[in-house]
Amino acid sequence: MALDLANTIIFRQAPDRAQDRFSNSLEVARFACAAGIFRAGEWGSVNFIPPQSPSGHLNLIELREAINNLFRTAVLEGGFKAQYLSNFLRLASAVIGDSQNEQDFTLPPFAQHRELLLSAGAALSGLNLLDPARLSRIKICPNCHWLYLDESRNRSRRWCDMTVCGNRAKAKRHYDRKGRGHGL
């Protein structure tokens, strides 16, 4: 879920084309709902609660950027940069420490249905990714530049999603070969 949060900026690598899905607060609520559905394998039955205040929204954005900086740099440079790790841990600690109620903040998966703040879920998910075995599986899609977790058996997955980025890359290679073969 932490990587999904980092990927809520589309075209991050091209600032002139970048789109922040969270610039609309309704999208944050949709993301929280979708995270509960699509990350059930990671979390079990959880209802993620989106930020309820402007400051909560800003904290989520700050956490998103810390997650992106930490893991994108770790993939590109082969390890954590101290400043990014420190910033992520500080923000994760604040999110968990500022919780309004006394929750059991065990790492996922949870056995029973529960509610969890979206930012706390992202922080816990990010903490899970600090494990060297999981960190070694984080990759950057060569097509869309999103971060993704390669859970294939032999760690050979090349794209974040075969049906989107994988097909685009294969189609581009096909048309490049076909175009060169016909003198176009």
Q: For 69-119, write each residue's pLDDT tens digit.
A: 999 999 999 999 999 999 999 999 998 887 655 556 666 665 566 788 899
**Is a pLDDT exceeding 70 seen at residue 13?**
yes
What CA–CA distance (Å, rounded) separates 150 from 153? 9
The pairing of strands 9-10 and 19-20 is antiparallel
Burial 81-96 (b: 16+ CB within 10 A, else e): eeebbebbbebbeebb
| Phi, psi (deg, nearest 5) at residue 105 | -95, 50
Token pair, residue 125, equals 């998910």
- CA–CA distances in Å: residue 143 to residues 60, 87, 136, 165, 177: 26, 28, 20, 6, 18
* Mean pLDDT confidence for 141-164: 86
Q: 83-97 pLDDT, tens per residue?
A: 999 999 999 999 888
Question: Quick one: pLDDT at residue 5?
Answer: 97
Give the confidence band of 55 by pLDDT, cuts at 50, 70, 90.
Answer: very high
DSSP three-state, residue 47: strand
Q: pLDDT by residue (tens digit) across 17-54?
A: 999 999 988 999 999 999 999 888 777 888 899 999 99
Structural domain boundaries in the chain: 2-150
Q: pLDDT tens digits, residue range 162-172?
A: 776 866 656 66
Separation of alpha carbons 155 and 152, rounded Å: 5
Beta bridge partners of 20: 9
Report pLDDT for 40: 83
DSSP state string for 120-180: HHHHHHHHHHTSHHHHTTEEE-TTT--EEE--STTS---SS-IIIIIHHHHHHHHHHHHHH
What pLDDT does 71 receive?
98
* Contact between 30 and 8 (Cβ < 8 Å): no
